[in-house]
Amino acid sequence: MGRKQGEAVKVVALALTGHLVKPRWNSLGVKLFISYLAIVGIVVLVLLQTADFIAPATFAAQRGRMLGTSMGMGRAGEAGIGRANAANTEALLNQAFRESLNQGLLVAGGVALGVAIAISLFVTWWVIGPVRRLAAATQRIAAGHYAERVPTGAHRHPDELGELAANFNEMARSLEVNEQRRLELVGDVTHELRTPLATLQGYLEGLLDGVIEPDERTWAKLYDEAGRLRRLIDDLQELSRAQAHQIPLKLTSLNPLEIARVAVERVSAQFKEKGLNFSCDLPANLPPVKADLDRAVQVLTNLLVNALRYTPAPGQVKLKLLAISNTVEFRVTDSGIGIGAEHLPHLFERFYRVDKSRSRALGGSGIGLTIARALVEAMGGRIEVSSPGPNLGATFSFFLPEAA
Ligand code: ADP
Ligand 1 pocket, residue 333 CB under 6 Å: no
Percent of the chain with pLDDT over 70: 85
Of 40, 16, 188, nearest to 113 by C-alpha is 40
SS3 of the chain: helix, strand, coil, percent, to 5: 65, 10, 25
Out of 16-20, 167-171, 192-196, 217-221, pick the least confident: 16-20
Give the DSSP letter of residue 23.
-
pLDDT in tens, 200-218: 999 999 999 999 888 999 9
Given a contact cutoff of 8 angstroms between Cβ atoms, the answer to whether 301 and 263 are in contact is yes
- Rounded distance between C-alpha atoms, residue 255 and residue 308, angstroms: 25
> What's the gap in Å between 294 CA and the centre of ligand 1?
21
- Rounded distance between C-alpha atoms, residue 51 and residue 105, angstroms: 6
∠ CA 356-357-358, nearest 5°, is: 95
CATH number of 181-243: 1.10.287.130
Ligand 1 pocket, residue 315 CB under 6 Å: no
Pocket test residue of 303, 353, 371 for ligand 1, highest count of atoms within 8 A of CB: 353
User: Side chain identity at 92, as an amino acid letter?
Assistant: L
Ligand 1 pocket, residue 232 CB under 6 Å: no
- Rounded distance between C-alpha atoms, residue 378 and residue 397, angstroms: 16
Q: What is the pLDDT of residue 91?
A: 80
Rounded mean pLDDT, 355-365:
68
Q: What is the pLDDT of residue 21?
A: 44
- Give the end-to-end CA distance of the chain in Å, rounded to a whole number: 59
Q: What is the pLDDT of residue 335?
A: 96
Q: Please name the residues in contact with 356: beta carbons below 8 A apart, sequence gap of 6 or more.
A: 366
At residue 105 the predicted structure's pLDDT band, cuts being 50, 70 and 90, is confident
Superfamily of domain 252-401: Histidine kinase-like ATPase, C-terminal domain (3.30.565.10)
Q: Give me the residue spans of the domains in the chain.
A: 2-142, 181-243, 252-401
* Ligand 1 atom at shortest distance from the alpha carbon of 366: 8
> What's the gap in Å between 225 CA and the centre of ligand 1?
20
- Rounded distance between C-alpha atoms, residue 274 and residue 253, angstroms: 35
Rounded mean pLDDT, 337-351:
91
User: 394 φ, ψ to 5°?
Assistant: -145, 155
Ligand 1 pocket, residue 347 CB under 6 Å: yes
Return the residue whose CA atom lies nearest to atom 14 of ligand 1: 353
Pocket test residue of 310, 355, 358, 376 for ligand 1, highest count of atoms within 8 A of CB: 310
At residue 64 the predicted structure's pLDDT band, cuts being 50, 70 and 90, is confident
Q: Is the dihedral of CA 64, 70, 76, 81 positive or negative?
A: negative
Of 314, 346, 325, 331, nearest to 383 by C-alpha is 331
> What's the gap in Å between 335 CA and the centre of ligand 1?
14
Burial class (CB in 10 A: 0-12, 13-18, 19+), 176: middle
- Secondary structure (DSSP) of 318-349: EEEEEEETTEEEEEEEE-SS---TTTGGGTTS
Ligand 1 pocket, residue 369 CB under 6 Å: yes
Q: Please name the residues in contact with 18: beta carbons below 8 A apart, sequence gap of 6 or more.
A: 29
pLDDT at 268 > cutoff 80: yes
Return the residue whose CA atom lies nearest to atom 21 of ligand 1: 306
Given a contact cutoff of 8 angstroms between Cβ atoms, the answer to whether 384 and 303 are in contact is no
Pocket test residue of 335, 347, 348 for ligand 1, highest count of atoms within 8 A of CB: 347
How many C-beta atoms surround the C-beta of residue 92 within 10 A? 18
Per-residue CA distances from 404 to 235, 252, 299 (Å): 32, 10, 22
Out of 15-24, 184-193, 361-370, pick the least confident: 15-24
Q: Return the H-helix or E-strand segment holding 395.
A: strand 394-401
- Rounded distance between C-alpha atoms, residue 230 and residue 241, angstroms: 17
Of 163, 66, 48, 207, nearest to 115 by C-alpha is 48
Ligand 1 pocket, residue 397 CB under 6 Å: no
> What's the gap in Å between 306 CA and the centre of ligand 1?
6
pTM of the predicted model as reported, rounded to 2 decimal places: 0.62
Return the residue whose CA atom lies nearest to atom 23 of ligand 1: 307
